[in-house]
Each structure stands twice: as structure tokens, then as C-alpha cells.
Structure 1
């Protein structure tokens, strides 16, 4: 299947996953308010650690190993690897759930919210069915789209029917978990249509070293990805967690739009790396990094400028305190996307698991240290600043490590430098004109400003002969002519 079709399916999948919170979050935030929303998101942040333990890095490791088997056409080895990883994660999910239940029973802060922890425990148990890596390697993104869309529609109906008052936050937690569990079960059933599990001559030991390194890497990422909400909940209160989580949720709605192309390109880049086809590696790197700059710069700028409109429209006046938090966090978009891509699609396939792990451990210590000092002073904004600084440092270190592997590859070039300058330049104009548009209300501002920004931004890039934008423009013109 072509990159363009895979990308289209992934974009539609992202739209499905993004539209759902866009529709639901304004309703949920107004019903539950910051305090009760904070309770759910505090527990969800803690549960993230146990979800990582449940899968032991199998999704990331699986993409790498299954792509290698598929690349050489060894389907018996493909089935065997998949079966081994699946059985390993079944065991780890049961162990993870046991540790979770024990932790909740002995730690007072967790025990206070034990019912929510028990609800999310269902997701921990069924996380062993997290086999997206199979469908990514098989490039079956259409099926992923259909499954996600159907489940989202069903959960949307249940949400508006059952969530009516703040005390319904238990039901909200349940509605966050059930769609994920159903999706996991459907995934496993669907795999059986491709092949039967191969239980002969299984060799689990061969995966242990690499999986443990990847697991530790993902676990450390999980720590500095959710330690902010955990520390806020412990050091301050649920209201601060609610305000902070609202800001995080809004900026993360945009993040998948940048990351999706990396997911589509992943099997191709890994295959090129294993075959040592440097020209293909650089070609695919250019596609993603160009896209990261071209889309990431305006996304970041618009999130900062439109933070008041985003917050008030999607969360309500009771979440006004999240506006400044969202402004601080928005620049994470580009750095997080670039760092995630380099780590997962460049360093990992080059067998640099230990280097990635060391970088991640450094990120954990940086993030915990910054949170410890900044949260008592700036509360949720302190956590946001700690996250931003950590993502910048980690992304720069990963770029440095990539340069050591591919010395003649350059992250910054003429087009990318111009993209940054154009993005900032257009933002100055938008910041001036938005003062005149805001009198028409939040919705009109949110609808008109991105369109106006996009027209000016891409027109300037075309006039300045940005190679990648020019290719997209020519591709669009051909499609229009065909129709």
C-alpha cells in the first residue's frame, strides 16, 4: 500500500481520535469541573506506569522485529515472534495488575481513589492485547480506522447519556476504559483471520535483553510523561491536576497530527536501516522532518496565540487558569514529535537501545528535579515549564546522537530555517489582527485564524520555493485535474 494511502488512513484515524475529545471534553469539563476531572486524570497518570509494565515494550520491539521478518519474507518466523511477544505480555499484564492492586491497598493517597484505580485496572489487565504493532507492520491502517471510529461513536452516546453530575466521575473513568478494552479484544480476534498462533519451539529468551532495555526506556518516558500530574496531585491538589490536565489534553489533540507520518514511515525506515540503504534512510528522514517543521511551527504558534479561545471554548470559564499553562506547553509539540521520531524510528532500529535508555533516565531526573523546585512556586505552570525544558533537552540530545550515526545528515537546512522564520513572521501579523477578530467571539476566532494563518504561511513558502511544499502543491494540482 502506498505511503499516501497509509498516511490518509492515519490522518482519518487521528481525526477520529481527535474529534472525540473535542466533542466530549467541553461537556465533561463543565459537568465534572476541575476537582473531579483532576481525580480521574491523577489516577490515569499513575495507571500509565502500569500499562507500560503490562506490555514490556512489546509494541515498539515488535515493529522492529516483525518488520525484519516481513522484509525477508519469513512468515513462519513472523508468526513465531508474534506469538512469543503475545504470551510474554499476557504474563506481564497479570503481574502488573497484581502490583497495582497491592500498591493501592498500602498507599493512602491511592487508596482514597481506590474505585477509580480498580476501574483502570481493567485496562491494565487487557493491555496484553495491545497489538497495534502487528497492524502497523502489515500496513493495515484502514482496519485500525474502522475499529476506532465504531468504538468512538458508541462511547460518545454512552457519555452523553450517563454523565450528568460531578459525582458521575466514576462512570467517566469507566467510559475511558471500556472502549480501550473492547478495541484490544477486537484486535486479537482480527489477528486470527491472518494466521493461527505458532506455539512450536518458542524461544522467549532471545527477546528478553532488547525488550527489557526498551521497557526501561518506555518506563522512563512514562515517568516524565505523567510525573507532572502525579507530583501535582501529591504536592498540591486535584484542582491543580484538573487545570493542568486540561492544558495537556488540548495541546495533545494536535500532537498526533505531527506524529502520524512517522508511524506510516516506520516500517520503511526500519527496513532501509537494516538493509543499510542510506539514500532511502535519508529520503524518509527528509519526508518526516520537513513535515515536522512545516506543520509543527504553525501548530505551535497557533496554540500559543489561540490558547484563550481553546481553553474557554473547550473547557469553560472555570478552567481559565489553564490558559497560561497551555501557552507554556505548546512549544513542546515540535520538540516532542522530533524526539519521539528520532528515538523510535532512527536510534532504536540502529540497535542503540542502551543510548536511548540513558537519555530517558537523564530526562526523568531532569523532569523530577525541575518539578520538585518549580511546582511549589508556580503550581501547574511550574509543571508545564518543567515539561517544556525536559522535552527540549531530550530532543537536542537525540539529534546529537543521530548525527553521530549519520554524520552527513543535516537537521537544519535552508528550507527548514526559512520555515521557522516565516512561521514566526506570520504569527506577528496574526497576533496584531486577532485583536480585531476576538470581538466576534471564541468560535469565530478559532475558525478564521488558522485558515488565515495557513493561507498566508503556505503562500509565502510557495513563493520562496520551499521544495516540500512545492511537491505537495503539485500533487494537489494533479489530483484536482484527475477529478
Structure 2
């Protein structure tokens, strides 16, 4: 049953990379067709739908992956557990729709977005029906990768066929929902190879809900400091600034999701290791931290120095005011992914999710309070600053409340050597970018030469330092049968 963790990580990374490739194709097109104002409307409504998904999910996904991974070898127990969780999710989704329709009726500020809200809310039910967490439990990342590829290709074709002018905003909203609808239908059928999902009366409903509420509260807090920026920006300023912020957040989100994809595939394995072999658990966490330290700082540096051409490529010159926000969010990316390791790989697998709850509540509170004062003055740039502060807060609180984090990370000094290599790589990237800027005016040449030269230079640096991961990779190429 234990599939290759490296292959799982690669497959899930490929799946999340598709979320970069396709937005890189579609977002510039959509940004130009819809314009800043209508793009801001779409993102404002999407933020509200995200809250619907959050309430309907009730912390189910994370809880189910961790608990079901422990019993997946027992088919009878797994079937019963999955059906109970599925049924609870359907009930919470129905309750969410009731609250949603009441909100549309009685909250006046939502009336102008009524049509968009109704269209995009369709995806919430199919998100529950799909029960994608089952694929994570059984580490079936090959299927999820292929599924994502075909659905996104289909969606891409539909986008270019049907969206041609500003008034096609509602068609675009349908296409956004279509991804989740197709995924839900396909997944419901595919999951039958593992379990036969059906609605049942949960026997252990209160035990499940009691455990899920900690995850739910944690997710609420995370969503508050992630999505509250967009909602508060739209409420306190204007949809124009939401549109600017959307471009910066789009880039931040796709790279954050790629990192999260690697983290997610390790949770079922880490949950098993923590029960059976704590040394394996500890070594895997160290390996995750080392790999992230090796690649994350240079990636963030690349986004920071190339912020201008990235913005122009995605949205055009009309979105250049989003450049400072993107630079700030690139720094937030560095903190956010380490935060993901601490909260998911360590705290959750140690059953210390209450620490995550405390950390995210602190982060959400600070984020919202700072937004009240900073957004009216700095608009989208202020929202980016508060996101960075919130991510830092999560890391600080986790490290203070769980002493195991520092003991695990610092138990092997090699992490400091890798950090030194990464910092040198960051300086090299900045120097290379300066040189490229001196010789080329074209943003295409700026991006291509900076990226390719930086990758080559960093690879050489790692070879000179005899980095163990790079040397292992080279040895595998030399001896592919070993």
C-alpha cells in the first residue's frame, strides 16, 4: 500500500503545476477581456464562495485524511468511516446553502453580486459530493493529476470559445464553477474502487464533529487572514484595487499551492510513521525542511526581482501598480510554506492541532485589526503587508508552543549548510538579473535569461558545495539502474 513518496510528491507537484501553467495561459486573457473592475467583482465573489466551502467542509478534509490513513488497511472500518464523513459533509453543505440564501436576501451590499453568487455557489455541493480527500487517504495522486489535466484542458478550450467581451463575465463565472462540478461527478464515480459512498445516519457523529471542530476553527482562522484581505479591500476601497490585488495574489497562490502539494502528500505517511516509527517520522520531516530550504529562498528571490515582467505578462501595463504587492507577497510565500510544514507535517501528525488553532487565531486577529487601519491608507499594498505579518505570526506562535519544532529542525546541522548555499544562490540571482537588465530591454529576454542563467549558476554552486541532494541526483543519472 505504501506507494513511493517521491513519486507521490512529483505527481502532486505536477498537478499543482498545472494550476500555474493554465492560469499563465488564461489569466492574461481574462484580465484583458474583463478589465480591472469586473475582475475585481469575480475575485470578490470568489472570496465569499471560499467561505461557503469552508463552512460546508467543517474541517472534514484534514481530519478525514489523518484518521482514515490509520485504518485504510481495514476495508470494513474504512467503508464505515468514509460513509459517515461523507454524510456529515452533505448535511453541513445543505446548512451552508440555507445560510447563504439568507445572506443574499438580507445583506443589501450583496444584491449587486446576486447573479454571480448564485452561479458560482453551484460548485459548493459538488465539492462535497466529490470527496477528494479519499484520494489523498489512498495516495492516489496519479488519478488526481490526470483528472486535473483533462478538466483544465476542457475548461481552457471553453474559455477561448465563449469568453470574448466584458459582458461575458457570467460565462466566465460558469466556467470557474465547471471545474469543481466535473471533478465532483468524476470523483464520486472513481472513488468506488476504494469505497462505495452512500448517505447514512452517522453513528459516531458527535465524536467526529468534536474532533473536526478544531480543524474547522483552524481553517476559519486561516481563511480569515487569507481571504479577508480581498473582502475588506473590496468593502473599504473599490473593486479596482481588488483587481490589482488579484494579480499579485494569483502568483502568490499558485506557488504556495505547489509547495503545499508536496506537504499534503506527506501527511498520510507521517501519520503512520508517528505511530509506528518516530525516527522515520523525524527523518522525513528533516528531509522536507532541507528540500524546502534548498529551493524556496531562490524561488522567492526570483519572483521578487522579476515582479515587473511577471505583472506585465499576466495583466498588462494597467496592472503595474500591483508590483509592490507582489514583492511583499513573495516574502510572505517564504514564511507561509515553512508555516505549512510546522502546522501540517509536525503539529497535525503529532495530534497537536490545537496549537495550529491558537496560531491562526492570533494571525487572523492581527491581520483583521491591521487591515482596518492599513488598507484605507495603502490599499492593495497594505493588504499584502498584513498577510506577511499574519504568516510570520503563525510561525512564531507554533515555534513557541511546540518545542519539538526547533529540536527536530536543528537536530542535524546540515540544514545550516543548506541555508548558506541558498543565501549565496539568492545573491547570485540578484546579480544575474542586474547584468541581464543592463544588456536587454525586452521583458521576455529579461525573464528567460534571468531564469535560465540563475538555474545554471545555482546548480553549479550546489555542485561546488557538494550538496547531498544534487550529488545523489547526479549519481542516479550516472547509475540509473542503482
Q: Normalization by structure 1: what TM-score? A: 0.94
Deviation at 1:437, TM superposition (A): 4.5
Corresponding residue of 2:467: 466
Corresponding residue of 1:442: 443
Deviation at 1:12, TM superposition (A): 2.1
SS of match in other structure, 1:330: helix
Contact 1:33-1:318 within 8 A present in 2 as well: no
Q: Tell me whether 1:338 sits opposite 2:342 in the alignment.
A: no
Corresponding residue of 1:150: 150
Corresponding residue of 1:2: 4
Contact 2:328-2:384 within 8 A present in 1 as well: yes
Q: Tell me whether 1:425 sits opposite 2:454 in the alignment.
A: no
Deviation at 1:255, TM superposition (A): 2.1
Q: What are the within-5 Å matches in structure 2 for residues 285-364 of structure 1?
A: 285-364=285-364
Alignment deviations for residues 341-390 of structure 1 (CA, whole Å, 9 cap, x no partner): 22122111222122211111111101001111111111110001111111
Corresponding residue of 1:69: 71
Return closer, same or farther for 1:447/1:406 CA change in 2, 3 Å cut-off: closer
- Is the deviation greater in 420-429 or in 178-187? 420-429
Deviation at 1:278, TM superposition (A): 2.3
Corresponding residue of 2:28: 26
Between the aligned partners of 1:437 and 1:23, the Cα distance in structure 2 is: 28
Alignment deviations for residues 219-248 of structure 1 (CA, whole Å, 9 cap, x no partner): 111111100000000000000000001111
Between the aligned partners of 1:289 and 1:472, the Cα distance in structure 2 is: 18
Q: Normalization by structure 2: what TM-score? A: 0.94
Q: Tell me whether 1:215 sits opposite 2:216 in the alignment.
A: yes
Q: What are the within-5 Å matches in structure 2 for residues 173-184 of structure 1?
A: 173-184=173-184
Return closer, same or farther for 1:455/1:399 CA change in 2, 3 Å cut-off: farther
Q: What are the within-5 Å matches in structure 2 for residues 106-145 of structure 1?
A: 106-145=106-145
Aligned length: 477
Between the aligned partners of 2:408 and 2:119, the Cα distance in structure 1 is: 51
Alignment deviations for residues 245-264 of structure 1 (CA, whole Å, 9 cap, x no partner): 11110222222332222122
Between the aligned partners of 2:392 and 2:8, the Cα distance in structure 1 is: 30
Between the aligned partners of 2:303 and 2:227, the Cα distance in structure 1 is: 21
Coordinate RMSD, CA, aligned: 1.9
Return closer, same or farther for 1:252/1:302 CA change in 2, 3 Å cut-off: same
Q: What are the within-5 Å matches in structure 2 for residues 28-47 of structure 1?
A: 28-47=30-49
Q: What are the within-5 Å matches in structure 2 for residues 371-450 of structure 1?
A: 371-404=371-404, 407=407, 409-410=409-410, 413-439=415-441, 441-450=442-451
Return closer, same or farther for 1:405/1:155 CA change in 2, 3 Å cut-off: closer
Alignment deviations for residues 432-468 of structure 1 (CA, whole Å, 9 cap, x no partner): 21312541x2222222211111111121122112223
Between the aligned partners of 1:125 and 1:388, the Cα distance in structure 2 is: 32
Contact 2:130-2:186 within 8 A present in 1 as well: no
Return closer, same or farther for 1:197/1:383 CA change in 2, 3 Å cut-off: closer
Gaps of 5+ in 2: none
Between the aligned partners of 1:200 and 1:45, the Cα distance in structure 2 is: 32
Between the aligned partners of 2:165 and 2:349, the Cα distance in structure 1 is: 48
- Is the deviation greater in 6-15 or in 171-180? 6-15
Deviation at 1:7, TM superposition (A): 2.3
Return closer, same or farther for 1:473/1:104 CA change in 2, 3 Å cut-off: farther
Alignment deviations for residues 14-62 of structure 1 (CA, whole Å, 9 cap, x no partner): 2222211111001000111111000000111122111011111111001
Alignment deviations for residues 164-210 of structure 1 (CA, whole Å, 9 cap, x no partner): 11121111111111111110121111112333247598322221111
Contact 1:6-1:264 within 8 A present in 2 as well: yes
Return closer, same or farther for 1:456/1:402 CA change in 2, 3 Å cut-off: farther
Contact 1:93-1:128 within 8 A present in 2 as well: yes
Between the aligned partners of 2:61 and 2:189, the Cα distance in structure 1 is: 17
Contact 1:422-1:461 within 8 A present in 2 as well: no
Deviation at 1:122, TM superposition (A): 0.5
Between the aligned partners of 1:478 and 1:405, the Cα distance in structure 2 is: 36
Between the aligned partners of 1:396 and 1:63, the Cα distance in structure 2 is: 26
SS of match in other structure, 1:320: helix
Gaps of 5+ in 1: none
Contact 1:214-1:353 within 8 A present in 2 as well: yes
Deviation at 1:420, TM superposition (A): 3.7
Between the aligned partners of 1:242 and 1:8, the Cα distance in structure 2 is: 33
Return closer, same or farther for 1:272/1:431 CA change in 2, 3 Å cut-off: same
Between the aligned partners of 1:400 and 1:468, the Cα distance in structure 2 is: 30
Between the aligned partners of 2:195 and 2:379, the Cα distance in structure 1 is: 52
Return closer, same or farther for 1:405/1:418 CA change in 2, 3 Å cut-off: closer
Contact 2:421-2:461 within 8 A present in 1 as well: no
Aligned mate of 1:16, from 18, 31, 48: 18
